[in-house]
Structure 1
Amino acid sequence: MSLLQLSGTGFLALVLWKLFRRLTRPRNPLEDVAGPEKEHWLKGNYHRIFQDGWDYNLQLAEKYGGAVKIHGLLGTLQLYVSDPRALHNIVVKEQHIFEETDMFILGNKLIFGEGLISTLGDQHRKQRKMLTPVFSLANMRDLLPVIQPIADKMRDVLLGLIPPGEDPHEIDLVPWMSRGTLEYVCQANLGYTFHALEPDKTNEYAKAVRNLSPTALSIILLRPFVPFFVRNFSLHLRNQLVEYLPITRLRVQLHELRRIVRVMDRVSHEIFAEKKAAMLGHGAATSGEVSSGGNLGERMRGKDIMSIMLRANASSDDTDRLTDEELLGQVNTIIFAGFETTTIAVCRTLYLLAEKPTVQAQLRSEVRRAKREYAAAQGLSDVRWEDVDLPYDVLMGLPFLDAILRETLRVYPPTSLMSRTTRKDTMLPLQFPVRSASGAMISEIALPANTNVIISILAANHNKEVWGADADEWRPARWLTPTGERIRIGEDGDGVVREGDAPAEGAPGNRNGVKYPGVYASMMTFLGGGRACIGFKFAEMEMKQILTTLLSTMHFALPSGADEHGNRKQIRWKMNGLQVPVLDPPAGDGHTPQVPLDVRRVRAEDFLS
């Protein structure tokens, strides 16, 4: 029997086994939960949720409430959840029951190794214990001035793209924001540069990281089958199976994904070896560590996240110390987790500001006022206000900037969906009862072991019961007092919601004491509990630094030009796991990520005061 026949027989056996289990197992309690009818015998409703499903996701929650039955692959029943109490149970109270799915863990392990997003249980907790102090506010304060040259370089590159006498000029922001955020995560987290903002330089690793997400998303419907093939076939056999795939498109995409992973693995080994050698005192800076701002090693002086982590690990007890394999797994994990979503968030914010020029002018005025006040306080009379670098506490405390970023991350979360699976039978309580399939109201749902649960970050952030009737509206003012001050959220007023924090009176996302368990401003964008995004404070700092730097010198507007056939350019954000900006046909292909905006130098009329 050939390899292709063997694999085909195995796959058919898997399908038949699942169908047999479905027909012979006891009645699933999820059958009593209301939800849409199954649309496809194989894909169920899965494709509607994960492929360009913005409207569909919001309609699910609007029609059925905070807990919805959906049909997954091969007819498996899954629960789609956005109810606040249910999500508190899932990510905080019973997170040991609601673990990441096998396809998520094993898929990430194939790509990133033994990193934070590829581990479970005690191993994950040990890694998180090591990494959490690394992202402390003290480290963020030290890091901010060191990475300011990256934002300055982004500004200079964009200004350099505007030809003399041509003002404004259309610029696609996606490639440059992507390059800039990649430099941020590489320099700040690894103390390493790939010169991504150098237009005349190309880097194999930088290109691989940028192509990872679109390549992986193009084969997202294959992810549920990853556990079966990982557990039943060796790496050699899996590689052979790819060669026998009858669908050319999938075979090509899997080849590309394999190439990307190999590049990332090779370079991450090199970076890790250099960082470890430098920590031990017998390593020298390489050509990769020389940036346009001088020697990066001298500028960072061990303040990068990886150096801090290596020192902390070396001084830890044996029981808490991570292995080299685990430390190595953090390299690609940190880069990927902090790069793609930040790119999307910055592009979305600039797009919204281009849509709303008055809001853009108000924000720019706040930035100018803050820079002038700081310059005066520091006696920097010979420095132009545009060139003033704000320190951490001033930057993070700008009320309108904070409101804009919070509202953008709430309404348009870069990642809209996450999945969990139940490790044993459990009851899931609901804050807001939902109607069952029979019409009765239910306030808790029985979930058998191995039930997949989809966490809808998007629906949670748009829940009108929690955020108000205007939850779908992008309105930064909801985060401000009538006098324009920032509404305090969290014990320290910094937006970080910690377990046990008292609800802030009048704070968004808090209706009569009902709120979501999100770690950031009570929203679910960065999740909550033991698997919340560990680097969200760095991401927030990075985005604010980029925005204040760019807006100080540039004005952004929606594209006014047309393509060569006279078609106007309409930007649309597709929801394919991540929010992806594309140009709708006929001006665009509807697939290639791009945000073309008209960019010009700032004028006097671009301020409100």
Structure 2
Amino acid sequence: MSLAVSLIGAITLALGLAIYKLIFNIPRLPSYIPGPPSPSWVAGNVIDILGNQERMGGLESQWYRQYGATIKTKGTFGRDILMTSDTRALHYILNATGYRYEKPQEMTISMTAIAGPGLPTVNGMVHQRQRKMFSPAFSESRLRTFTPVIQRVSKNLSTGIRNSLGKNGNVVNVHLWFGRAALDAIGEAGFSHCFNTLLEGDCEISKTLHHIFDDTGASKSKVFRVVMWALENFPVLQELSARSPVGINVHFANFKSRSKDLVADVVRSAKQSVGDDEVKDMLSILVRANQGEDAKKKLSDEELLAQAASLIVGGQESSGTTLAWIFYYLGTNIEIQEAIRQEISDIRARIGMDAQLSIQDYNGMVMLNMVIKETLRMHPIQSKLTRAAQVDDIVPLGEPLLTADGRTINHIPIKKGQVVECDAHGYNRNPAVWGPDAQIWKPQRWEEKMKNPVNAVFGSSLTFGAGPRGCIAWRFAVMEIQAYTTEMLENFKFEPSEDTNAVVAGPGLFSSPRLLGRGGDAQMPLIVTPLRS
């Protein structure tokens, strides 16, 4: 009994301190910044965003239409959050100011628990040092050496799906297969490990990742999702939760332990063969570069291992989910599916049926790449990029804002520590950038040059982020998507199933496809029919 009382007292004290800190020390936005009313002081608008909408971004789009492209929302315990889809504001925060806007430390707690101090979780000079060290592994020239790996995995993807089909085609959850392909490719190219999930089924790593994404995904109740958001935002709560040997924390620990065991040998081997010119994987390239650095700039072994774990987490979910959405649109737009198939046939007529396509071949398929860019625009993997101001600042606006007191302003003053949610989903569908049909999937829009885009990593959308924190592996991801899409369309026809109309991108951090109102795991059910026996 005394232990229980002590525990309750400790939790109450921790909560009290956290709330006190929030109320008296957090920065406030000017009262004239417009925004939606908060339904709850405790949960803020988080309960609206994560719990009271069925599709990602629908509610935010309504707010932007009502209040403008930059708004004030409420976080937990009354905290002000600046949310923006404004082009100029996003360019300023993500590109122009370097590391003046960092990831809030509390927002990286879960990822640190999963992977350790890798690129997605560190800030400032540490991030700059890690990124500089890792960049050679993702250069255009290095990508050519990984092309055979991706193409080999694409063949396994075809084999795996074909083996799962009946003679007349079947309904297939393509999200599952694309996730496996992404994991197999990142295993081989990232650190010379063969997961082989396409031919042998899920491994322990993939099962653990499945539990993690399911436990934090849109299939959970709105109460659960809000609780998870609160844990992300309050280190003291996360610390208390992490001491519990149940649930999501077990999956975090299992993944971190397994990934560390997988890549430890790669790190040791790379250190021992510094003079060997042949390098097979991204991690070995990083280790070699690290060995030649000044002692003060070197990455620790913990940092090296964290990069591999980060590759697994980011690589599987991002590429797998994007491919699932691509085939959703191709399945419901057969004429575009056929247009890409014709592009592939034209290349085959030139290089031969058995030849491997080059990077130039993939990049030269106009319709294929318009489809990829448009799908990435419609479905960014992360809906919002959260940052915190490191200094007092003034954020410029491209779209003038009508304030709550009737004035028109073109800038917003903010205080150090102010949290800003750079709304990738909102920007990617902002009519001021993409036109009045911004909510419609329309690959042909990429035939025209976009107006006033953010200086983004790829295709003018914010799917891969922007600036010094933009996705370092975007070229590898695009190459994967190109290769897998080409392989699939050469071998299969994709059509909507009875459940395809129920697919939505549910609310949450990731845009994983799910069946509306049915809960459960990520799903993209399509009818898949072989084109030849």
Query: TM-score normalised to the size of structure 2?
Result: 0.91
Say if 1:196 and 1:202, in contact at 8 Å, map to a contact too. yes
Q: 1:29 to 1:575 in 2, by over 3 A?
A: closer
Shift of 1:367: 1.2
Say if 2:496 and 2:526, in contact at 8 Å, map to a contact too. yes
Q: Secondary structure at the match of 1:210?
A: helix
Q: Which residue of 2 aligns with 1:441?
A: 408
Q: Which structure's CA Rg is the greater one?
A: 1
C-alpha separation in 2, matches of 1:538 and 1:371: 23
| Residue 536 (structure 1) aligned to one of 471, 474, 490 | 474
Please tell me the residue identity of whatever aligns with 2:531: V
% identity of equivalent residues: 25
Say if 1:30 and 1:79, in contact at 8 Å, map to a contact too. no
Q: 1:530 to 1:27 in 2, by over 3 A?
A: closer
Q: 1:20 to 1:439 in 2, by over 3 A?
A: farther
Q: Which stretch shifts more, 323-332 or 42-51?
A: 42-51
Shift of 1:85: 1.1
| Residue 518 (structure 1) aligned to one of 432, 445, 456 | 456
Say if 2:290 and 2:298, in contact at 8 Å, map to a contact too. yes
Say if 1:556 and 1:599, in contact at 8 Å, map to a contact too. yes
CA deviation map 1:523-554 (0-9, x unaligned): 11111111111101100000000000010010
Say if 1:371 and 1:389, in contact at 8 Å, map to a contact too. no
Q: Which residue of 2 aligns with 1:582?
A: 514
Q: Which residue of 1 aligns with 2:491?
A: 553
Say if 1:103 and 1:224, in contact at 8 Å, map to a contact too. no
C-alpha separation in 1, matches of 2:525 and 2:301: 43
1:382-421 superposed matches below 5 A: 385=353, 387-421=354-388
Q: Secondary structure at the match of 1:525?
A: strand
Query: TM-score normalised to the size of structure 1?
Result: 0.80
Q: 1:156 to 1:317 in 2, by over 3 A?
A: same
Q: 1:232 to 1:113 in 2, by over 3 A?
A: closer
1:124-523 superposed matches below 5 A: 124-164=127-167, 167-199=168-200, 201-217=201-217, 220-221=225-226, 222-226=228-232, 228-229=234-235, 240=243, 242=244, 255-280=246-271, 302-375=279-352, 385=353, 387-480=354-447, 506-508=448-450, 510=451, 514-523=452-461
Please tell me the residue identity of whatever aligns with 1:507: K
C-alpha separation in 2, matches of 1:8 and 1:90: 41
Please tell me the residue identity of whatever aligns with 1:125: Q
Shift of 1:191: 1.2
Q: Secondary structure at the match of 2:113?
A: helix
Q: Which residue of 2 aligns with 1:297?
A: none
C-alpha separation in 1, matches of 2:159 and 2:145: 24
Shift of 1:301: 6.0
Q: Which residue of 2 aligns with 1:599?
A: 528
The alignment covers a number of residue pairs equal to 522
Shift of 1:111: 1.7
Say if 1:517 and 1:527, in contact at 8 Å, map to a contact too. no
C-alpha separation in 1, matches of 2:296 and 2:23: 47
CA deviation map 1:475-517 (0-9, x unaligned): 111212xxxxxxxxxxxxxxxxxxxxxxxxx512x2xxx2212
Question: Where does structure 2 lack aligned partners over 5 or more consecutive residues?
Answer: none
C-alpha separation in 2, matches of 1:33 and 1:4: 45
Q: Which residue of 2 aligns with 1:571?
A: 503
Shift of 1:450: 1.8
Q: Which stretch shifts more, 431-440 or 348-357?
A: 431-440
Q: 1:174 to 1:402 in 2, by over 3 A?
A: same
Q: Which residue of 2 aligns with 1:378?
A: none
CA deviation map 1:69-126 (0-9, x unaligned): 1011011111111111111121122243311012223332222111111211111110
CA deviation map 1:267-313 (0-9, x unaligned): 22222221123324589xxxxxxxxxxxxxxxx96332112111221
Say if 1:30 and 1:69, in contact at 8 Å, map to a contact too. no
Q: Secondary structure at the match of 2:198?
A: coil
- Tell which has more relative contact order, 1 or 2 (C-alpha 8 A, sep 6+): 2
| Residue 103 (structure 1) aligned to one of 102, 106, 120 | 106
Shift of 1:25: 7.2
Shift of 1:343: 0.8
Please tell me the residue identity of whatever aligns with 1:535: A
Shift of 1:315: 2.2
Is 1:63 aligned with 2:66?
yes
Shift of 1:210: 2.8
C-alpha separation in 2, matches of 1:337 and 1:572: 21
| Residue 125 (structure 2) aligned to one of 115, 122, 125 | 122
Shift of 1:453: 0.9
Say if 1:170 and 1:599, in contact at 8 Å, map to a contact too. yes
Say if 1:188 and 1:305, in contact at 8 Å, map to a contact too. yes
Q: 1:63 to 1:14 in 2, by over 3 A?
A: farther
Q: Secondary structure at the match of 2:37?
A: coil
Please tell me the residue identity of whatever aligns with 1:265: K
C-alpha RMSD of matched pairs (Å)? 2.6
| Residue 92 (structure 2) aligned to one of 89, 93, 111 | 89
C-alpha separation in 1, matches of 2:23 and 2:344: 63
Shift of 1:154: 0.5
C-alpha separation in 1, matches of 2:18 and 2:236: 18
C-alpha separation in 1, matches of 2:21 and 2:300: 40
Q: 1:104 to 1:3 in 2, by over 3 A?
A: farther
Q: Secondary structure at the match of 1:557?
A: strand
Q: Secondary structure at the match of 1:29?
A: coil
Q: Secondary structure at the match of 1:579?
A: coil
Q: Which residue of 2 aligns with 1:48?
A: 48
Shift of 1:603: 7.1
Q: Secondary structure at the match of 2:397?
A: strand
Shift of 1:155: 0.6
Please tell me the residue identity of whatever aligns with 1:372: A
C-alpha separation in 2, matches of 1:3 and 1:391: 65
Q: 1:15 to 1:269 in 2, by over 3 A?
A: closer
Shift of 1:238: 5.2
Q: 1:50 to 1:231 in 2, by over 3 A?
A: closer
Say if 1:570 and 1:584, in contact at 8 Å, map to a contact too. yes
Q: Which stretch shifts more, 575-584 or 213-222?
A: 213-222
Shift of 1:259: 2.3
C-alpha separation in 2, matches of 1:261 and 1:22: 28
C-alpha separation in 2, matches of 1:259 and 1:415: 24
Q: Which stretch shifts more, 112-121 or 531-540?
A: 112-121
Please tell me the residue identity of whatever aligns with 1:422: A
Please tell me the residue identity of whatever aligns with 1:190: F
Q: Which residue of 2 aligns with 1:495?
A: none
Please tell me the residue identity of whatever aligns with 2:253: R
Q: 1:358 to 1:42 in 2, by over 3 A?
A: same
Please tell me the residue identity of whatever aligns with 1:172: N
Q: 1:44 to 1:227 in 2, by over 3 A?
A: closer
Shift of 1:202: 4.4
